[in-house]
Amino acid sequence: MPMIVFIPLLKTLNAPRIKPFNAPTEIEQMTKQHPARIELKAIMRLAGPLIASQLAHMLMVLTDTLMMARLSPEALAGGSLGAASYSFVSIFCLGVIAAVGTLVSIRQGAGDIEGATRLTQAGIWLAWALALGGAIMLWNIKPVLLLFGQTPSNVEMAGQFLMLLPLALPGYMTFMALRGFTSAMGRPMPVMVISVIGTVANFLLNYALITGMFGLPKLGLMGIGLVTAIVATCMALGLAWHIHRHPAYDAYPIRKGLSRLNMTYLRELWRLGLPIGGTYAVEVGLFAFAALCMGTMGSTQLAAHQIALQIVSTAFMVPAGMSYAITMRIGQHYGGGDLQRARLAGRVGIGAGAVVMLGFSVVFWFWPKELVGLFLDYNDPAFRPVFELAVSLLAVAAWFELFDGAQTIAMGAIRGLKDAKTTFLVGLFCYWAIGAPMAWMLAFTFGWGPAGVWWGLAMGLACAAISLSLAFEWKVRRMLKRERKAAKTAGLEAA
């Protein structure tokens, strides 16, 4: 059923009237605007659809959670445990696959069509390999969960959810690899449309299998995993169909030679992608550590933390989309040899992200009760302690968000320069040498409780934001210095 919905809308996207934005100077040929303004428009043009697709993915996860809650409290607890396991594995894999968009954008900026095509093909192979490894890990994760002290009943429920859910990994990873390709081509709109359609299909199919509509069997947690796998596969096929049919990609014959894996391009992807995946993993680990801290305080603290974190995570989709767009933009300039413009794009992106996150901070500071009220009823005495604590955490989040958005966008800027090791090392140090210890110390040693955990996280993120912003400036300055030195040497030799 999902493919029947995908194809007609993709035919609309295939219309030639949608022009790709390939060359970094295309807008400049049509206008005399200030370069910074041009960069801002280009970044937001890319970021808008990517942000929407990120939010659509969050809605899929929320839909799965709501469907688990309809089954039983036990299904929700066990399913959430399985979902957390799947999330950790998929986020690492997603980080590795993010290298596709970065490297393709660099090749695109350099005018290397052959390289962009071969990198995309290698990205598809890498997606399949990661999916296989991730699926094997998830199918054998029950002993690990028991080792970490999870109750046997929850582990059994998690096993049911993970029976079919790993089948979503091949489709999801392939979709993300192709997303990197289309985004590097300056065409993120198809990704957004397919993501929105996938979200709707995910809800409808989940509801049908939970309630037994149309004579379908009630498959419980396995059904939710099956639906996720079906939708992810259809999303990948839908985006592949769009790329195959649209004339904007005629110069990139991805299907031709796909069966012949080029190890050179695969190694290049792996070298850049592995530290990106590692960065994603250490950041996810930091928030898992925060949840464990809250869990030791009590169920009220943990519930308030989860609600506040859900609100913050939704807002985080904006800088996450901007970060990916900035990576693409800087990658194009870097590949084209225009380091000055790459630096300008990075500065504009970091500044724009700070302004956007300042807006979210204002909302968190002045309207926390309204935000928490979307999840809890203050008039219900049973939820009032959770409500009030979540509101107090959003006051910390007003500062937290500024740093989180800045560090995410700065990471994207550095990756656009084909450097992921710096972001990994800075993230590892700031998250785990500063953020985690400060969270524990403020919460338990100084007795700040839940607010202490969040202030500790904010300190780690602030350290990362400052360090990564400075690292971007330092790296570009050093590259420009080398470029000038090389030009001077070449001039002397010519003389």
Residue 271: inside a domain: no
- State residue 375's pLDDT score: 76
Q: Once rounded to an integer, what is the mean pLDDT over residues 367-382?
A: 82
Residues 171 and 284 in one domain: no
- State residue 241's pLDDT score: 95
Residues 325 and 201 in one domain: no
- State residue 494's pLDDT score: 61
Residues 223 and 309 in one domain: no
Check pLDDT > 80 for residue 21.
Answer: no
Q: Which of 210, 228, 261 is the last residue of a domain?
A: 261
Q: Once rounded to an integer, what is the mean pLDDT over residues 150-166?
A: 85
Closest CA to 349 of 193, 468, 460: 468
Residues 170 and 314 in one domain: no
Write the burial class of residue 392 (CB in 10 Å: 0-12 exposed, 13-18 middle, 19+ buried).
middle
Domain range enclosing 410: 278-488
The highest-confidence range among 165-169, 208-212, 297-301, by mean pLDDT, is 165-169
Residue 266: inside a domain: no
Residue 419: inside a domain: yes
Which of 165-168's residues contact partners 24+ apart within 8 Å by CB, and which partners? 165/82, 165/86, 165/138, 165/224, 165/225, 165/228, 165/229, 166/86, 166/134, 166/135, 166/138, 166/139, 166/229, 167/135, 167/225, 167/226, 167/229, 167/233, 168/225, 168/228, 168/229, 168/231, 168/232, 168/233
The highest-confidence range among 80-84, 162-166, 301-305, 471-475, by mean pLDDT, is 471-475
- State residue 17's pLDDT score: 36
Q: Once rounded to an integer, what is the mean pLDDT over residues 290-319?
A: 83
CA angle in degrees (0–180, nearest 5) for 459-461-463: 70
- State residue 376's pLDDT score: 75
Residue 337: inside a domain: yes
The span from the CA of 15 to the CA of 6, in Å, is 15
- State residue 24's pLDDT score: 44
Residues 255 and 385 in one domain: no
What band does 282 get if pLDDT is binned at 50, 70 and 90? very high
- State residue 257's pLDDT score: 80
Closest CA to 407 of 482, 316, 493, 345: 316
What band does 491 get if pLDDT is binned at 50, 70 and 90? low
Residue 15: inside a domain: no
- State residue 67's pLDDT score: 78
Residues 201 and 97 in one domain: yes
Lowest mean pLDDT among 18-32, 190-204, 416-430, 454-468: 18-32
Number of domains in the chain: 2
Q: Once rounded to an integer, what is the mean pLDDT over residues 48-75?
A: 81
- Model confidence over 28-56: pLDDT tens digits? 454 567 888 888 898 888 888 989 988 88
Residues 328 and 466 in one domain: yes
Check pLDDT > 80 for residue 457.
Answer: yes
Residues 227 and 320 in one domain: no
Residue 68: inside a domain: yes
Residue 411: inside a domain: yes
Check pLDDT > 90 for residue 485.
Answer: no
- State residue 424's pLDDT score: 96
More confident residue, 457 or 147: 457
Q: Which of 261, 287, 316 is the last residue of a domain?
A: 261
**pLDDT > 90 fraction of the chain, expressed in percent and rounded:** 46
Check pLDDT > 50 for residue 345.
Answer: yes
More confident residue, 305 or 68: 305
**pLDDT > 70 fraction of the chain, expressed in percent and rounded:** 92
Lowest mean pLDDT among 23-32, 265-274, 312-321: 23-32
- State residue 209's pLDDT score: 81
Residues 317 and 400 in one domain: yes
- State residue 152's pLDDT score: 84
- State residue 16's pLDDT score: 40
Check pLDDT > 80 for residue 458.
Answer: yes
Check pLDDT > 50 for residue 15.
Answer: no
Check pLDDT > 70 for residue 142.
Answer: yes
Lowest mean pLDDT among 70-84, 125-139, 336-350: 70-84
Asked if 24 and 328 touch (Cβ cutoff 8 Å), the reply is: no
Lowest mean pLDDT among 146-150, 280-284, 423-427: 146-150
More confident residue, 201 or 217: 201
The span from the CA of 153 to the CA of 145, in Å, is 11
Residues 283 and 257 in one domain: no
- State residue 31's pLDDT score: 53
Closest CA to 176 of 130, 107, 111, 225: 130
- Model confidence over 359-373: pLDDT tens digits? 999 999 999 889 888
- State residue 299's pLDDT score: 73
Residues 464 and 399 in one domain: yes
Residues 286 and 251 in one domain: no
Check pLDDT > 70 for residue 65.
Answer: yes
- State residue 492's pLDDT score: 59
CB-side neighbour CA atoms (13 Å) of 54: 20
Q: Once rounded to an integer, what is the mean pLDDT over residues 344-366?
A: 91
Residue 420: inside a domain: yes
Check pLDDT > 70 for residue 495.
Answer: no
The span from the CA of 174 to the CA of 62, in Å, is 22
Other beta carbons within 10 Å of 296: 10
Mean pLDDT in the chain? 86
Asked if 219 and 79 touch (Cβ cutoff 8 Å), the reply is: no
Q: Once rounded to an integer, what is the mean pLDDT over residues 89-104?
A: 93
Q: Which of 193, 227, 261 is the last residue of a domain?
A: 261
Residue 21: partners with Cβ closer than 8 Å, 6 or more residues away? 27, 42, 45, 186, 187
